[in-house]
Amino acid sequence: MQNIENKGRRAFMGSAAIAALLLGNRAAWALEQGSTGRWPKIAPPQSPRISHVIDQLGRQRDDAYSWMKFIPTTGERTRDNLPDAVGAMLKAENDYADAILAPLAGERAKLLEAMLARASGEVAPPALEKDGWDYGSARPAGAAHAIYTRKRKGEKPEQLIDEAVRAKGQPYFRSTGHQPSPDHRYFAWAEDVIGNDRHRIVIRDNQSGDVRTIVDKDAYGYGGLVFAPSSRWLFWIWRDARNRPTRLYRTSVDGRVTDLVYEEKDPAIFMQVKRTAADGFIALTLAGPETAEVRLVSAADETAAPAVVWPRKTGVLYDIDEWNGGLIALTDTGEAFDMALLRLDPKSFRTLATLVPHRAGTPILQIQPFAAALVRLERVDGLHRLVILRPDGSEQTVAFDDPAYAIELPAEQSYGASSVMIVHQSPKSPRRWIRVDLASGKQSVVQEQAVANFDPGDYEVERLLAPAPDGEMVPITLLSRRGAPKDGKAPLLQYGYGSYGVPSDPEFSIPALALVDRGWRYAIAHVRGGSEKGRRWFLGGRKFTKRNSFTDFIACAEHLAAEGYTAKGKVVAYGLSAGGLLVGASMNIAPSLWGGVIAQVPFVDMLNTMSDGAHPLVPLFRPDWGDPLADPKAYDYIASISPYENVRAAAYPPLLCTAGLKDDRVAYWEPAKLVAEVRRRSTSGNPALLHTDMDSGHQGSADLKSEYQQKALFWAFAMRCV
């Protein structure tokens, strides 16, 4: 790896001087906003450009906004420890964004009211039954947080957690990983009260009602904690100073004993832990984009060192569970790129049989073992279907005839259950919880999401195909009011993601309905880089083919305009995180196509971030993006597509970016740099806005009102754009 040399041609300017410039006389920066009069004529902040020349692999670049980056020497980033210059910049940007968006207050309030009114009739998901206990959660009417309960049939519910109480007095609250112990004496969960995805772990003793914190900080909550089969231990994952999950610990449920089980030294490996379906093992999965290794701790000896199933090997992914008296592997070994299911010997781990062979274009997404059947979720022609495989080898398929829909297979279902619970939804069909009998395949609707003032007949869902420049056909899911004319007059919001093989499934969305009710159309562009059409679809928008994601996104907007669903200049692009890369790059390529761009915590400073070996996610995702520290080809390719590095003199559309001060995944300075550069280079006079949540990280606080408030802001901004 080549060192990066800072040539040091940085003009001398202290933090106080930068702060004074940012907060000084705005008359000196006079710039009339927007030739159409849509936006207030308020001069924006002008972030100073301070030369910071970087030599890397024989190439040179000047990152003139590098001063915006701040990583504290110790501890977390907060309002209080920001350098003066950075604090002044973020305050100036927030003040400016608030001033530009102030005229939207009325529209935002109406949108929020419409969303909350629809959600007011919402009911909780049905409880999952486990050994005679029904575990569930519900959000009381008008409440921001849920209450978790359990009950036996015929008895009153027992309250396990009132999250409103847990969240009281906290600037941020998000919980995850809620689970009972196998013997049902305990209930555990992880909670983040800081906003930086570093959790504490809490256990409730259901006999005494006592609640205690057994891990006070630095735990990883997402797939990072699980009870041992004996219920005597909790296995949990620890995050290091760089926010990487690197250690597996075992802590007694009384919190008195904690032992290190395993430590991972490779920064390119991610960790998750679970209990296998029949409670036979604790499974630690160590995985990167192109490799995996599973280590098992047997229920027969929970303090033993974990045993490796298959040693990690580049190009081989796998996951392990148990079914029908043995182990099963979901894997791509043997060029099974869309996955196959194998039966393994539980002691030697050798392959005994192929349960489901590889079928190109039919990826297996998830498995849920039961004693009576092995249920798998897979995708055919981009749409989900469920398949029930019984021990005798017979199969039964469950699918739906909607033009576009999504099926969820909730985890943690009881291994001894006689039916599987699934969730069906589409952009015009609220979530339905359906029990599917494992013996007969018979379906019964258990519950449906209640949506007030809603008739699905008022809406229409279409599945379209847009021709990409190279001939690929890119799926689009489109939601419209029924009977809406195709006259090119309707504005349209187009959402996309297209990274890491993560699909953008056609799910039900109350915020999307609120927008469509205002005469808009809502489109999901299923671009390459996702996995909607299998692993090849993912690989077709990854690394040196990443530009395909952007040209696919553009092709979708152009196709929708050509077919009369909207018109060029009436499409607002919306992307989140790596989806921010998608919309930022698409904005650079075709700025006149978009009426506006919304980039939520966007990954837009690719070249500098992927050149930061200390970043918690960089080693892990080098296979997805390339390594500009070691590979000249990767450097050149990333430099050619990174949104920040490719802003040009052009008439840019209005741009709204958001950030979280405590975000360690996509730091605030990425959108801050993009906004500053667009503001400097754009010839349109349209506003470029940055709004930073000073209390959150990559995700906002987990309450419904906060989520809807943000969507109301986005939709009101989009409406003003067109």
Please write the tens of the pLDDT for every residue from 137-186.
888 877 778 899 999 988 999 999 999 999 999 888 989 999 999 999 99
Predicted TM-score (pTM) of this structure:
0.89
pLDDT higher than threshold 80 for residue 122: no
pLDDT at 11: 38
pLDDT higher than threshold 90 for residue 641: yes
Confidence of residue 34 (pLDDT cuts 50, 70, 90): very low
pLDDT at 143: 79
Q: What is the mean pLDDT of residues 627-641?
A: 98
Confidence of residue 617 (pLDDT cuts 50, 70, 90): confident
- DSSP letter for each residue of 334-348: TT-TT-EEEEE-TTT
pLDDT at 16: 54
Domain assignment present for residue 103? The answer is no
pLDDT higher than threshold 90 for residue 436: yes
> Which amino acid belongs to residue 299?
A
pLDDT at 1: 37
Q: Which of 215-224, 357-366, 690-699 has the lowest mean pLDDT?
A: 690-699
Please write the tens of the pLDDT for every residue from 483-521.
999 999 999 999 999 999 999 999 999 999 999 999 999
pLDDT higher than threshold 50 for residue 477: yes
**Contact residues for 247 (Cβ-Cβ < 8 A; gap 6+):** 237, 238, 240, 260, 261, 262, 263, 264
Report, in angstroms and rounded to the nearest whole number, the Rg of the chain calculated over CA atoms. 26
pLDDT higher than threshold 80 for residue 124: no
Please write the tens of the pLDDT for every residue from 304-356.
999 999 999 999 999 999 999 999 999 999 999 999 999 999 999 999 999 99
CA dist 153 and 117 (Å) reads 32
pLDDT higher than threshold 50 for residue 528: yes
pLDDT at 184: 96
Tally of CB atoms within 10 A around 609? 23
Query: Do 658 and 671 contact (CB within 8 A), yes or no?
Result: yes
- What tokens does 169 get? 């007095």
Domain assignment present for residue 487? The answer is no
pLDDT at 499: 97
- DSSP letter for each residue of 475-532: EEEEEEETT---SS-S-EEEEE---TT--------HHHHHHHTTT-EEEEE--BTB-T
CA dist 7 and 2 (Å) reads 15
Tally of CB atoms within 10 A around 337? 18
Please write the tens of the pLDDT for every residue from 51-81.
999 999 999 999 999 999 999 988 889 999 9
- DSSP letter for each residue of 565-626: SS-TTSEEEEEETHHHHHHHHHHHH-GGGEEEEEEES----HHHHHT-TTSTTHHHHHHHH-
pLDDT higher than threshold 50 for residue 31: no
Q: Which domain holds residue 408?
A: 361-450
pLDDT higher than threshold 60 for residue 3: no
Secondary structure (3-state) at 674: helix
Tally of CB atoms within 10 A around 35? 11
Query: Do 662 and 243 contact (CB within 8 A), yes or no?
Result: no
**Contact residues for 378 (Cβ-Cβ < 8 A; gap 6+):** 362, 363, 364, 365, 384, 385, 387
Domain assignment present for residue 297? The answer is no
Domain assignment present for residue 10? The answer is no
Q: Which of 695, 694, 689 is nearest to 713 (CA)?
A: 689
pLDDT at 13: 47
Confidence of residue 21 (pLDDT cuts 50, 70, 90): low
CA dist 298 and 587 (Å) reads 52
CA dist 190 and 234 (Å) reads 12
DSSP conformation class of 720: H
Using alpha carbons only, give the angle 678, 683, 689 rounded to the nearest 5 degrees: 35
Query: Do 527 and 503 contact (CB within 8 A), yes or no?
Result: no
pLDDT at 497: 98
Confidence of residue 25 (pLDDT cuts 50, 70, 90): very low
Please write the tens of the pLDDT for every residue from 219-274.
998 899 999 999 999 999 999 988 889 999 999 999 999 999 999 999 999 999 99
Domain assignment present for residue 414? The answer is yes
Using alpha carbons only, give the angle 503, 509, 511 rounded to the nearest 5 degrees: 125
pLDDT at 36: 52
pLDDT at 33: 42
- What tokens does 216 get? 């006070």
For helices 704-721 and 105-119, give the axis angle rounded to 10 degrees.
130
CA dist 432 and 422 (Å) reads 8
pLDDT higher than threshold 80 for residue 464: yes
pLDDT higher than threshold 70 for residue 563: yes
CA dist 76 and 601 (Å) reads 18
Give percent of the chain above pLDDT 90: 83
pLDDT higher than threshold 70 for residue 22: no
- Evaluated on CA atoms 129, 130, 131, 133, the torsion sign reads negative
Dihedral in degrees, nearest 10, Cα atoms 706, 710, 712, 716 = 160
Confidence of residue 19 (pLDDT cuts 50, 70, 90): low
Of all helices (H) and strands (E), which one includes residue 295? strand 291-298
Domain assignment present for residue 420? The answer is yes
Confidence of residue 407 (pLDDT cuts 50, 70, 90): very high
Domain assignment present for residue 660? The answer is no
pLDDT at 612: 94
Q: What is the mean pLDDT of residues 537-543?
A: 97
Confidence of residue 10 (pLDDT cuts 50, 70, 90): very low
Q: Strands of 53-56's sheet, edge to edge?
A: 5-6, 53-56, 59-62
Encode 615-657 in three state secondary structure: CCCHHHHHHHHCCCCCCHHHHHHHHHHCCHHHCCCECCCCEEE
Q: What is the mean pLDDT of residues 451-463?
A: 95
Domain assignment present for residue 104? The answer is no
Confidence of residue 660 (pLDDT cuts 50, 70, 90): very high
Q: Which of 129-138, 209-218, 632-641 has the lowest mean pLDDT?
A: 129-138
Q: What is the mean pLDDT of residues 388-393?
A: 96
pLDDT higher than threshold 90 for residue 106: yes
Q: Into how many domains does the chain fold? A: 1
Between 15 and 589, whose confidence is greater? 589
Please write the tens of the pLDDT for every residue from 574-598.
999 999 999 999 999 999 999 999 9
